[in-house]
A and B are shown apart, each in its own frame.
Chain A
């Protein structure tokens, strides 16, 4: 119970303790978030199997990267023979979203007065699934409960990713080819839809359409740089077009 004496912060969704906040984080992630995430990592596991890459490398990639599109892009680019430098730039661009996401989320966690070095560790676990939950429920929680809440979600989704990957890896090797193909196909479908779930900026819609059109063409011209070139050209054109057609707004 929070003290009723001093007026301002009334935390409607306050938990009884930091431990309860951790459990609440687990609870809020156990349903759809962990399920969707686990299912999408099934595709990742199947891709590993298809590319004859050891599943332990998949685990390593999950723990160190913690960003499925980046993980798949890394493997895909490696398979198509792209140099490390190109992988770094492309994955860096794909994951740029973490910058604004972290910028938006850190003030919520910082209010609890934790040392900054701990924020640098916590930031590693910033990814869409838990980020959405913290941005949603964090502001109405007492500051000292936000980090446990965040970590509770992380403690739920990372095992879900590991289980999903293992499942995909094992299943892909023991079912008919058609099923394996369907499992590997989960990867592009997941990314396509996940980008559409949260499509609020019109400029990003343009970027998606142009990028999808330019990607295969430029990939055929230059497999090494096609992805990057398509991104730069389509993204810049989309950004410019949005500004051009809508002067003055935002």
Chain B
């Protein structure tokens, strides 16, 4: 609202909320260390939910991205993600190589298909 798309006070608030939601687990981890089994069933269940939330977020970021990334055709984004995945496994799960492949191939495909 105003010139900037987001009011900064609400942005600071959302950053603080995100920070609190992150620190609480670390603090609870200190409090519970030595008392709970980090491989117990409840921890595993919530761990699965956490992975699924992240996977849902990743899928959304690739299929329905915000900003100018959304102007690229969805096919380009899917191909770039697949290339990143393929090269990542070919490079024996080398994170940096996989991530760079994703970024470079999206840029390359975006140039190649023209706008």
Contacts and interface: CB of A to CB of B under 8 A. Distances in A.
Interface of A: 32, 35-36, 39-40, 43, 47, 50-54, 57, 60-61, 64-67, 69-80, 84, 87-107, 110, 116, 119-120, 123-124, 126, 176-197, 201, 203-204, 206-216, 218-219, 226-228, 230-236, 238-239, 242, 250
Contacts of B19: 61, 64-65
Secondary structure dominating the interface of A:
helix
Contacts of A99: 25-26, 28-29, 32, 38, 43, 46
B67 to A, nearest CB: 4
B33 interface: yes
A91 B45 CA distance: 17
B69 to A, nearest CB: 5
B1 interface: no
Given A78-B11, A207-B52, A51 B111 contact: no
A232 B56 CA distance: 11
Contacts of B29: 98-103, 105-106, 123, 126
Interface string B1-17: 00011101011111111
Contact of A235 (B53, B66, B95): B53
A60 B14 CA distance: 12
In order of increasing CB-CB distance, the 10 nearest A-B pairs are: A102-B29, A215-B56, A235-B49, A211-B52, A231-B53, A182-B107, A211-B55, A189-B102, A74-B18, A50-B67
Interface in B25-54: 25-30, 32-34, 36, 38-39, 43-54
A116 B30 contact: yes
Nearest to A183: B103
Interface centre among B8, B23, B43, B49 (most CB of A within 10 A): B49
Contact of A189 (B11, B22, B45, B81): B81
Interface string B72-111: 1000010011001100100001011011101110110011
B85 A71 contact: no
Contacts of A181: 68-69, 71-72, 106-107, 110
B78 to A, nearest CB: 11
A123 B110 contact: no
Contacts of B93: 193, 196-197
Contacts of B17: 74, 84, 87-88, 91
Contact of B52 (A88, A106, A216, A238): A238
9 contacts: A50-B69, A74-B18, A98-B29, A184-B68, A185-B102, A190-B99, A215-B55, A230-B53, A242-B48
B115 to A, nearest CB: 8
Given A95-B21, A120-B30, A193-B88, A100 B8 contact: no
A103 B32 contact: yes
